Amino acid sequence: MNLLEYLQIILRRGWIMLLLAILAAGAAFVFSRQMTPVYRASQILLIVPSRPDWGLQQAAVQLLNNRAEYLRSELIAQKVVDELRLDMTPGALLGATTISAIQDNTTLQIDVDLPAPNPQEAARLLNPIATAWGNQLIIYQNELNQEAQRQDRVRAQIQDNPRLSLLRPNVTINTLIGALAGFFLGGVIVFVLEFLESSVIRRRDDIERLGQLPVLAAVPNE
């Protein structure tokens, strides 16, 4: 088939591709709007050495992974649950929390992902949890500093208020993916239909293509 024949197929059956694209995009949009949103509260903790010494700075960097592992504990999760009187188990809270050590800027990032009906409820629920996780590290680090010389201490402190963001669903992206999926599915259907009808003679061009002979005349239907 040449390019002109492909163009004719698209003009003749392109409505199938467009229709499926619209239907799939609409279905993805409705489904995304019906999903319960999941929000993320991110809390940044600074690990600050007591003096600008290269050796102490390197020690602080190496402490990051250790402090992250300290927070990744059901024991710490239980303290957060008890402090905030959360209606969830420590295991569930720990499963919803991601703690990452960022060595480039000597920080720990605490991400808490939980469902909420709207941003206001998400902020009310998630922000205190993220802050409470950070406070647990601050308390632990302060206890360790009591046993260290003042010049060797490393301080943990909260950088700012937690940042709240919508994790999922992304309605726009889901709608676009649905439209593309429907469009390509329509393309497959058009290809199958053309394949099934490839041996059916419907037009003068079909006769010339199958018989490899020019049509000299056509008998009218009436």
pLDDT in tens, 150-166: 777 788 899 889 999 99
Q: What is the pLDDT of residue 218?
A: 55
Does residue 83 lie in a domain region? Answer: yes
Q: Give this prediction's pTM.
A: 0.72
45 token code pair: 């903790």
50/107 same-domain check: yes
Clarify whether residues 16 and 68 are in a common domain. Answer: no
Q: Verify that 21 and 42 share a domain, yes or no.
A: no
CATH number of the domain bearing residue 124? 3.30.70
- Is 27 inside a domain boundary? yes
- Do residue 143 and residue 180 come from a single domain? no
Judge if 200 and 120 occupy the same domain. Answer: no
Residues 141, 67 within the same domain: yes
Same domain, 22 and 86: no
Structural domain containing residue 12: 3-34+172-211
Same domain, 117 and 192: no
Of 49-58, 83-92, 131-140, the least confident? 49-58
Same domain as 30, residue 42: no
Give how many domains the chain has, as a whole number: 2
Confidence of residue 197 (pLDDT cuts 50, 70, 90): low
84 found inside a domain: yes
Is 220 within the bounds of a domain? no
> Distance between CA 213 and CA 3 in Å, rounded?
21
Q: Are residues 162 and 71 in the same domain?
A: yes
Does some domain include residue 221?
no
- The mean pLDDT value of the chain amounts to 83
Same domain as 189, residue 162: no
Q: Does 54 lie in the same domain as 16?
A: no
- Provide Rg for the chain, Cα atoms: 31
Amino acid at 74: E
Residues 16-74: tens digit of each pLDDT: 888 999 999 999 889 888 888 999 999 999 988 776 666 666 767 778 888 899 999 99
Q: What gap in Å lies between CA 186 and CA 107, rounded to an integer?
A: 49
Q: Is residue 193 part of a domain?
A: yes
- Residue 197 φ then ψ, to 5°: -100, 10
